[in-house]
Amino acid sequence: MNEVFKALSDPTRRKILDLIRDSDLTAGEISDHFDMSKPSISNHLKILKNAGLIVDEKKGQFIYYSLNSTVLQDVIKWLLDKRDKGDDSHEK
């Protein structure tokens, strides 16, 4: 879970997640939206992938990145559970 929060803490990575939310994109297509080097984008993609937030699939000569919504749903559920447990502790 720590890797997920570390990945989400960076605004560039959050923007990458926004970009691929609706359609799969290649690293080149993602990098077109940023003013940084392609190796920097690759590093951000690696962090997101290691956190399980994105998946990649090779199609022909390109690798397409897509959102792994299952992990995001798990994070949201965890946060809501934490919030609910926190609310209960205040009622004591």
Break the chain into its structural domains and give their ranges. Answer: 2-86
46's CB contacts (< 8 A; 6+ apart) are none
CA distance 17 to 92: 39
The answer on pLDDT for 89 being more than 60 is no
The answer on pLDDT for 73 being more than 60 is yes
What CATH number labels 2-86?
A: 1.10.10.10
How much is the pTM? 0.82
32 and 69 Cβ atoms separated by less than 8 Å: no
Residue 45 pLDDT class (50, 70, 90 cuts): very high
pLDDT the model gives residue 78: 86
Cβ-in-10-Å burial (0-12, 13-18, 19+) of 18 comes to: exposed
